[in-house]
Structure 1
């Protein structure tokens, strides 16, 4: 199983050495993810969103030395985020679902980019509340992003509104 993560051009510039250009990978049940970079007190943080569910994960203070172990950091952070959001899954099962992580250049997914930009605007507001990087509870901030109602379907029905936590739980339990 492989999990592709498509990066924005801004993030791609900072992680060139781990970007893979072949797009021949099949994604697992979680599908593809999109990642972008933002800064808090000059520290690089990543916002990673699942394209199917818009479930968000924040990786704070990612340094270039962390890129060698980014697979482990992603899986550990996702496991902790799911647990914090009340979604319980065994780590080994999650590890099996995710498999190997591959970073790719941007796929120009405008829908996911729009979701990410909206969530980054929310984070900007919350950054003012916490003032410093050390005061920011990133796992709780990501939980806040995941609990906001979103529109996933194609129609304008109220049934198409859901929360990212509900959608990711549905994917993981199928």
Structure 2
């Protein structure tokens, strides 16, 4: 199984060209595709990765360029922790098999997901004042807040509710 993450142009400049795959139109992952963008907190890189089906967001904090070689593990661990923080129970081995290997692709210009990510980024600016230095940021709590914003694209469900439905439908 392959999890496809389409990265923003800003993020493309930070990732080695050899790590970015050519476009592949086949989306066979049960969770669908993901889109990623970058933002900074206290001069540290953070990735906001959003699922296209559920509008479910996962934040990877303190990412270094060397972390992209181990992105599959980092993404899977962070997603599992975030699902637990959002009270979504799933067996870790099932989640790992659903995610499989993470591969990065050039942006697909999905305006819907990019628009949602851009609408969340101003909150990040507010949280910089609320929490200060990156060491004070409760990322799972912040992520929980993001996943409790309802969206029209998912019929006014919360992303965490939609992700729970996606996981239950796919893991049965």
Task: Give the TM-score band, short-chain normalised.
Answer: over 0.9
Are 2:152 and 1:151 aligned? Answer: yes
Distance in 2, matches of 1:146 and 1:22, equals 28
Residues paired across the two proteins, number: 168
1:163 to 158, 163, 167: 158
Distance, in Å, in 1 between the alignment partners of 2:84 and 2:64 is 25
Q: Residue 141 of structure 1 corresponds to which residue in structure 2?
A: 142
Deviation at 1:66, TM superposition (A): 1.2
* Mapped partners of 1:22, 1:55: distance in 2: 23
Aligned-pair CA distance for 1:161 = 0.9
Distance 1:95 1:25 in 2: 20
Is the Cα contact below 8 Å between 2:27 and 2:33 reproduced in 1?
Answer: no
Distance 1:24 1:170 in 2: 25
TM-score normalised by the chain length of structure 2: 0.94
Structure 1 match to 2:43: 42
Work out whether residues 56 and 146 of structure 1, in 8 Å CA contact, stay in contact via their aligned partners in 2: yes
Cα distance, 1:59 vs structure 2: 0.2
Cα separation, 2, equivalents of 1:58 and 1:86:
17
Task: Give 2:13's aligned residue.
Answer: 13
Structure 2 spans left out of the alignment, 5+ residues = none
CA contact (8 A) 1:2 1:25 kept: no
Secondary structure of the corresponding residue to residue 45 of structure 2? strand
Aligned residues of 1:58 and 1:138 also touching (Cα < 8 A): yes
Separation of aligned partners in 2, 1:24 and 1:110: 17
Off by >2 Å, runs of 4+ in structure 1: 24-27
User: Contact 2:55–2:113 (CA<8 Å) still a contact in 1?
Assistant: yes
How far apart in 1 are the matches of 2:160 and 2:23? 31
CA contact (8 A) 2:23 2:106 kept: no
What is the CA–CA distance in structure 1 between the aligned matches of 2:87 and 2:102, rounded to whole Å?
24
